[in-house]
Amino acid sequence: MFENIFRELEGRLKGFMAVAIVSADGIEIEAKVKEELSHEVLSAEMNSILQHLDRLQDEISLGAYEEVVIKTDKENICLIRVSEEAFVLLVTDKSETTGRSLYEVQRLIPEFSKMLS
């Protein structure tokens, strides 16, 4: 379903490792993985982080998150909300800038949203 969008992201991001569409409850809808990566576990753990952010937002009125970026010593992990029901999980290696990664996903949000509706 998302194969063409995933392929476009892989072609535009030289540090591409994985991308997944994940439902708001943490269930992976579809994924493309270039490198050996436990993306199912990562999706579930990232969903846990998003749930904590939701609770924090409710408690102190921060506003709804749109993006979350986590940089480790090996890769960059970007979570981008594409609808109320789903987010994109994108993993790149350190050679890829997070700004470029976020831009490329944001550029494709209308396509993701269309496929999800």
d(CA 107, CA 23): 20
User: 0.75 cut: is pTM over it?
Assistant: yes
Q: Give 51-75 pLDDT, tens digit per residue.
A: 777 777 778 877 777 888 989 898 8
Residue 21 C-beta-side C-alpha neighbours within 13 Å: 20
> How confident is residue 3, by pLDDT bands cut at 50, 70 and 90?
very high
Q: Give 16-55 pLDDT, tens digit per residue.
A: 999 999 888 888 899 998 867 666 666 666 777 777 777 7
- Provide DSSP, 61-96: ------EEEEE-SSEEEEEEE-SSSEEEEEEEETTS
Which homologous superfamily is 14-116 in? Dynein light chain 2a, cytoplasmic (3.30.450.30)
- Domain locations in the chain as residue ranges: 14-116
